[in-house]
Amino acid sequence: MSLKYWQKRIGASVLGLGLLSSGQSLHASDAQPVRMTIERVAHLFSSKSSIATVKMQITNEDGQRNLSMKIWSSGDKIIVRITGPQDEAGIAILKEGNDIQYYLPKSNRTVTVPTSMAMNSWMGSDFTIDDLVKETFLARDYSVITSFVGQRGGIAVYEYTLTPKPDAAVVWGKVVLQIRQADSVPTWQGFYDEDGKLVRELTFSDYKTMGGRLIPTRLVMQPADKVGTRTTIEYEDIAFDVPITAATFSLPNQK
Amino acid sequence: MGGRLVQLAWRNLWRNRRRTFITMTAIAFGYAMLLFVACLMAGLRWQMIENGTCLVMSQIQVQAPLYYPSRLIQKTLGGGQGTDVNALLSVITADRRVYAAAPRAYGYGLLSAGHRSAGVELMGIVPERERKITILNSEIIRGDYLTARIPKGVVLGDKLASTIGMELGSEIVLLTQAADGSMGNDVYTVVGIFHTGLDAVDRGLVLMSLPALQELLQLAPTRIHEVGIKLNDITAATAVAAALERQLHKIVPARARAWPELAPELASYVQFNHAITFVLFFIFFLMAVIGVMNTMLMAVFERTRELGMLMALGMRPIQVVMLIIAEAVGLAVASLVVGGAIGVPLLWYLQAHGLDLGGASGEVISLAGVVVGHLWYGRQDFPAYGEAAVGLATTALVSALYPAWRAAHFKPTEAIRKV
């Protein structure tokens, strides 16, 4: 498959969390097994288009907050619409190319979010704006090696370690991805800083067949330095390669 | 005997008027210079502290114990319940050393107007209280300070305004993460634009009314992050902060931090300034030692015969020493009086009118991130004046020791033969 093909696929990833774009790494890495497996991981969520219904639960020392949202993706466009709770329903986040825009129904305004803020918390969760709507080119910015093959928690896994290329402008010092050998679904992803310290970890679980694919439907993001703080994402529904009209990706454009 | 000795010393001083006068003039001018320098240095310190605290920071900040340095918006005074803000303010203003106090709330957010946006710090204030402790209200270059008339009005810096393309009356959207984690947002109107000369403030600060910010951040009216305090005497800040912290514990756990803690760079500048003043004093004292010693040595050698005669008549060596020292100290004290007489009008002028640093250009001088202004005002530093006077008198005394010791060792039989 060509590089172009992968770039297209990567663009369409929803809740990409970086790992999806790993597909590209097969061009960077010569190791055949790594190539094959990451190719399969990349297949997992990526598609020409998708529609997903998702619940997000944010837990921190102040309590718990539940958000529900619907996500549409097509090509390099992604739109997230908040459907609950009541007072935040209608907020929409549109990512088109490099631009990220928020539509705020209360103010009835559309706000452009500077790229510099893409690493800020997304609506108070432990995910960043970048995690949710912006593809991170792991393959373009990182080199991949297989760092572990064997049993982890009774499951046969592959572990890949991704380190940034010298001139890559990235925030992580290292990303570690663990997948099941049997079906190539991801089980765990760790994000490390420049000093090799774990900053946050993402745990995948509740594997279900949805939209014709076996996917982890539950993702838990846990910041390493904040005990009692975590954000859970649950897929209620996802459909791949469905036709989506261009009108879906438009925000009311008052200002 | 002591009185006689002083009388004798005084008379001796005026026997060689020219020499005494020249030495006196030198010391007097030196003392006047010291006063001048001490006054300017004190003025600079005061101006630095005043200007460094008066824009936004204030002199003492009272916050919840864990608010700083994380500055999480949830960490309000009194925690999630908040506190009785009026009771808190009346406890603080009950301290006579407090000039005024003002409640504040802070947040961070995205300011957006048109297609441009920027991250900003939001500050919620009570204008009529805030203007007593900070002077941002007098830095408004267009429009007005916050008024109750426009509840959703904001005041921001000229650099931010030009970067985003805002004018007076522009509508802006503020987007922030509220205390409950939800996405707070609302539309506001620009009512005033300020220019402070400090880039961080002019580019990054947005002022709005306290209730408006509390609403945006989903904070109850009882929840504030800080009380800013201005004192009658800024030098008492650390002591007042400690006293307030004890007082406030009856109402709410709080941490009171004075400006040396809030702005360590300002505190270290003040120390540096003290050190420079000390060095200047020291250099001058060294010069004075040489001047006085020279005069006294001359006076002793010139009067070898006379001193020998006094000793032959029964004056004891210790009395000779006392005489010479009395002459030196008399010289110093007379010089101090004259120096003070020259210095005082100068000090008065410095404090009242200042030195024009910028000249015709009217340029503003800033130092260590603090705007000093284009006039350098002096400020009376009486402890330093006293130190200078005592220092000079001591200097005279020390420098007379050697000539006095020489005189005490004259042999009367030899000395009276000297011409």
CB atoms within 10 A of CB A231: 26
Cα–chain center distance at B99? 17
Place of tokens 């093959």: A149
Confidence category of residue B89, pLDDT binned at 50, 70, 90? very high
Q: What's phi and psi for A247, nearest 5 deg? A: -65, -25
Cβ separation A117–B110 shorter than 8 A: yes
Alpha carbon distances (Å) from A112 to A73, B18, B161: 19, 82, 17
User: Is B184 within 8 Å of B152 (Cβ atoms)?
Assistant: no
Distance CA B38, CA B343 (A): 11
> Nearest Cα to A54, choosing from A41, A73, A39?
A73
Q: What's the pLDDT score for residue A33?
A: 61
- Range from A122-126, B124-128, B366-370 carrying the lowest mean pLDDT: B366-370
For residue B103, is the peptide bond before it cis, meaning its omega torsion is within 30 degrees of 0? Answer: no
In the numeric block, the tokens 């663009």 are attached to A11
Rounded to an integer, the average pLDDT of B333-348 is 90
Does residue A196 fall inside a structural domain?
Answer: yes
- Whether A254 is covered by a domain: the verdict is no
B300-303: Cβ within 8 A, 24+ apart: B300/B324, B300/B403, B300/B404, B300/B406, B300/B407, B302/B16, B303/B12
Identify the pLDDT of residue B372.
Answer: 65
Residue B165 CA to residue B170 CA, distance in Å, equals 9
Structural domain including A73 reads 3-249
Supply the pLDDT for residue B309: 87
pLDDT in tens, B377-415: 888 888 889 988 898 888 888 888 888 888 888 888 888
d(CA A96, CA A108): 20
Least confident segment among B100-109, B255-264, B354-363:
B354-363
Checking if the pLDDT of B80 tops 60, the result is: yes
> Band of the pLDDT at B419, cuts 50, 70, 90?
low
Structure tokens at B116: 């441009």
Q: Is residue A222 part of a domain?
A: yes
pLDDT at B60 over 60: yes
- What residues contact B22, with CB distance under 8 A and at least 6 apart? none
CA distance B110 to chain A (A): 8
- Cα–Cα distance between A236 and A214 in angstroms, integer? 14
- pLDDT bracket for residue B70 (50, 70, 90): confident
Predicted local distance difference test score (pLDDT) of residue B410: 85
How high is the mean pLDDT of chain B? 88
- Of the residues A126, A128, A255, the best mutation for testing chain B's interface (the one with the most B CB atoms within 10 Å of its CB) is A255
Give B77 to chain A, closest Cα distance, Å. Answer: 16
Helices (H), B254-381: 259-262, 264-302, 304-312, 317-353
Nearest to A114 by CA among B122, B183, B119: B119
Q: Taking an 8 Å Cβ-Cβ cutoff, which residues of chain A contact chain B? A: 58, 60, 62, 65, 87-88, 91, 102, 104, 106-109, 111-114, 116-117, 121, 123-124, 255
Reading the block at residue A37, the tokens are 């497996």
Across the range B181-206, mean pLDDT stands at: 92
CA distance B194 to chain A (A): 24
Nearest neighbour of B173 by CB, restricted to A107, A117, A124 = A107
Is A169's pLDDT higher than 90?
no
DSSP B59: S
Distance CA B302, CA A112 (A): 90
A28 pLDDT above the threshold of 60: no
Contacts with A, B 22-81, CB within 8 Å? 74, 80
End-to-end CA distance of chain B: 28
DSSP 3-state of B285 = helix
Band of the pLDDT at A4, cuts 50, 70, 90?
Answer: very low
Residue B415: the pLDDT is: 82
pLDDT tens readout for residues B202-229: 999 999 999 999 999 999 999 999 999 9
Return the structure tokens found at B379.
């400020």
Burial class (CB in 10 A: 0-12, 13-18, 19+), A212: exposed
Q: Do A255 and B114 touch (CB under 8 A)?
A: yes
Q: Which helix (H) or strand (E) holds B2?
A: helix B2-13
The three-class DSSP label of residue B20 is: helix
Residue A226 in any domain: the answer is yes
Given an 8 Å threshold on Cβ–Cβ distance, is A106 in contact with B115? no
Q: How many CB atoms lie within 10 A of CB A192?
A: 20
Has residue A23 got a pLDDT over 50?
no
- Residue A198 is predicted with a pLDDT of 95
The most confident of A32-36, A52-56, B300-304, B399-403, by mean pLDDT:
A52-56
Of B173, B177, B187, the CB nearest to A124: B177
Least confident range from A13-22, A73-82, B30-39, B129-138: namely A13-22
In Å, how far from its chain's centre is CA B156? Answer: 28
Start-to-end C-alpha separation, chain A: 42
Q: How far is CA A52 from the centre of its chain?
A: 13
Backbone φ and ψ for B110, nearest 5 degrees, come out as -105, 125
CA nearest B23: which of B404, B395, B412?
Answer: B395
Measured between alpha carbons, how far is residue A55 from residues A59, A82, A84, A180 in Å?
Answer: 13, 10, 9, 25
pLDDT of residue A20: 36
Q: Which of B1, B62, B5 lies closest to B330, judged by CA? A: B5
Nearest to A89 by CA among A68, A109, A73: A68
Q: Above 70 in pLDDT, residue A220? A: yes
DSSP states along A55-107: EEEEEETTEEEEEEEEEEEETTEEEEEEEESGGGTT-EEEEETTEEEEEETTT
Of residues A118 and B416, more confidently modeled: B416
Q: Tell me the nearest-neighbour CA distance from A112 into chain B, angstroms.
A: 6
DSSP state of A117: G
Q: Is the pLDDT of residue A16 over 50?
A: no
Identify the CATH number of the domain in which residue A142 sits: 2.50.20.10
pLDDT of residue B171: 93
A121-143 confidence digits (pLDDT tens): 777 788 887 777 655 555 567 78
- Is residue A255 one of the residues assigned to a domain? no
pLDDT at B115: 85
Give the torsion through C-alpha atoms of B377, B379, B385, B386, to 10 deg.
Answer: -170
Residues A56 and A78: their CA atoms lie apart, in Å, by 17
Q: Using pLDDT thresholds of 50, 70 and 90, give the confidence band for residue A34.
A: low
Q: How far apart are CA A144 and CA A165, in angstroms?
A: 10
Q: Tens digits of per-residue pLDDT, B130-158?
A: 999 999 999 999 999 998 788 999 999 99
Q: Does residue A171 carry a pLDDT above 50?
A: yes
In the predicted model, what is the mean pLDDT of residues B267-273? 90
* Residue B112 binned pLDDT confidence (cut-offs 50, 70, 90): very high
C-beta atoms surrounding A79 within 10 Å: 22
The mean pLDDT of A83-99, rounded to a whole number, is 87
**pLDDT in the model for residue B229:** 96
Tell me the per-residue pLDDT of B315-329, one tens digit each, with 9 for 90 and over: 888 988 988 888 888
Task: Write the CB contacts of B28 (distance below 8 Å, at least 6 apart in sequence).
Answer: B335, B336, B338, B339, B342
Q: Which of B32, B11, B44 is nearest to B271 (CA)?
A: B44
Chain mean pLDDT for chain A: 78
Reply yes or no on whether the pLDDT at A10 is more than 50.
Answer: no
Q: At which residue do the structure tokens 């979010």 appear?
A: A113
pLDDT mean over B344-371: 73
Percent of chain B topping pLDDT 90: 42
Residue whose token pair is 């340095």: B69
Q: Which of A1-15, A56-70, A210-224 has the lowest mean pLDDT?
A: A1-15
How far apart (Å, rounded) are the C-alpha atoms in residues A175 and A188? 11
pLDDT score for B359: 60
> What pLDDT does residue B293 have?
84
Contact between residue B37 and residue B288 where contact means Cβ atoms under 8 Å apart: no
Cβ-Cβ contacts under 8 Å for B32 (sequence gap 6 or more): B339, B340, B342, B343, B346
| C-alpha to C-alpha distance for B181 and B179, rounded to whole angstroms | 5
- Counting the structural domains of chain A, the total is 1
Cβ separation A62–B74 shorter than 8 A: yes
B residues 84..123 contacting A (CB < 8 A) = 110, 112, 114-119
